[in-house]
Chains A and B, each alone.
Chain A
């Protein structure tokens, strides 16, 4: 058919566009209904899964981690709401309570470590506080990291800092820990002592004097390190948050 110009063609084009638009709406309405239906199917499957594997999740920390990792990779947070879809798995209370207890431990130890606590110490204290018996569940490092991270949205500075070699620190006060500060903590955490100094930092991290001074000065100001002026050679900086780790470590 010969393509026509003129008003007729324009009107025809408009009609076609309308049709496409309607079709678009139709497809999109179907999408929403589709989602509603899929959600129902998912809910049924999730309930089945919960009935079969709820216990496994409760008892097996590795399975829990696997579950969390998979959720994270597809972009869902099963702990976003206590009343949400995922609540049928019954892991909400576990994590929310862990979060509460984390806050309490951090608050109780704040006065001596300035708001920075090693994940190991946190875990030890929590296990002690929760006591044996009850339905004593195995609390893994990952569980704690997950619980601690959830507290971040309150803006109070809860954050989990990695200090290398699979070690973590939990920070519970606001304050910027820059990469330099983390490097200092890392250096001390990986040494067998709980202190550092300008010369140690220069030696281990290859920093200039000023850079080391600045980092240590900030940590001192934030109350994360204590200064020892009695050493004859130079000032030493101690991390109270690493004392227990020092005692408990094998080296």
Chain B
């Protein structure tokens, strides 16, 4: 009898091992219940993320194809093979910009028949014209970017959008234009501003004050240190100032070498 029971109990574990476990785990309350529901949620999140990654991968394969195709077309345009029309080239460039594909084809002067950037240029000019005038006629693009996006609130501009629009300003006869300093700093400035007048007025200030550092000039004019530095550099370029470069910083003096008589 014992043996039989023993045998019976021996067979049952194996029997249940081959049977699949009951599908529904009874929901329990208490900590175990909470843990279980967290696990369930995590599982669902994981599933949805992995589904999202799958969809993402499929999307990227498609995108990659288009990038290759665009590279072929771009090469043909640059080597002037075949008859790709002017119109098609323009459309192609706008595809590249829209997809965010870096390509030498888009780097040259952007055609001004893009309606979006033209109206953007006008909008930007309206927003920052007065502020720029108030700070002395010049504002860094970083500054402009912040102001314009703050003004818009929604549907913000990307830095590239801003740059492309600003590039068009001069050709659209707007009161502002894009200017690139040798250092690489980009500003929007009033078209009425020119280098020489900046150099002259800064040179006068130097005579008055004896010498100036970027910080001092910035404070005096109420502009950023970076722009003050650019003004001082411009003045130096015109030969109206001399620099004194030390660990205490960069200072500029009126150009006594040329101006003072010995």
Contact = CB atoms under 8 A, between A and B. Distances in A.
B67 A80 contact: no
A175 to B, nearest CB: 10
A236 B224 CA distance: 29
A223 B248 CA distance: 9
Interface stretch (A96-104, A129-137, A196-204): A96-104
Contacts of A77: 100-102
A79 B226 contact: no
Nearest to A57: B52
Contact of B157 (A31, A35, A53, A96): A96
Interface stretch (A9-17, A40-48, A183-191, A241-249): A40-48
Interface residues of B, number: 64
A83 interface: yes
B165 to A, nearest CB: 11
B110 interface: no
A174 B184 contact: yes
B160 interface: yes
Contact of A100 (B76, B100, B150, B226): B150
Contacts, number: 182
Interface in A91-132: 92-93, 96-97, 99-100, 103-104
B158 A81 contact: yes
Given A49-B55, A154-B186, A56 B48 contact: yes
Given A35-B73, A81-B158, A156-B142, A53 B98 contact: no
A137 B114 CA distance: 35
A156 B56 contact: no
A220 B245 CA distance: 13
A25 B55 CA distance: 36
Of A52, A56, A75, A77, chain B has the most CB atoms within 10 Å of the CB of A75
Given A53-B56, A86-B100, A100-B145, A42 B161 contact: no
Contacts of A67: 56
A104 B116 CA distance: 28
A31 B69 contact: yes
A173 B185 CA distance: 10
A207 interface: no
Interface residues of A, number: 60
A52 B55 contact: yes
Tell me the dominant secondary structure on chain B's binding face: helix
A151 interface: yes
Interface stretch (B79-87, B168-176, B190-198, B201-209): B79-87
A150 B116 CA distance: 21
B80 to A, nearest CB: 11
Contacts of A154: 140-142, 145, 159, 163, 185-186
Contacts of B72: 31
A99 B48 contact: no
A158 B142 contact: yes
Contacts of A38: 62, 65-66, 69
B97 interface: yes
A42 B63 contact: yes
Nearest to B66: A38
Contact of B102 (A75, A78, A97, A151): A75
* List of 8 A-B pairs having minimum Cβ-Cβ separation, nearest first: A80-B100, A77-B100, A96-B156, A155-B184, A28-B82, A154-B141, A84-B98, A74-B64
15 contacts: A28-B81, A29-B84, A31-B73, A32-B84, A35-B92, A77-B101, A82-B155, A83-B116, A96-B157, A97-B149, A97-B156, A103-B145, A155-B141, A217-B247, A221-B248
Interface of B: 48-49, 52-53, 55-60, 62-67, 69-70, 72-73, 76, 81-84, 88, 91-92, 95, 97-102, 116, 140-142, 145-146, 149-150, 154-161, 163, 180-181, 183-186, 226, 246-250
Given A77-B102, A100-B146, 5 more contacts: A32-B92, A42-B63, A52-B52, A92-B158, A223-B249
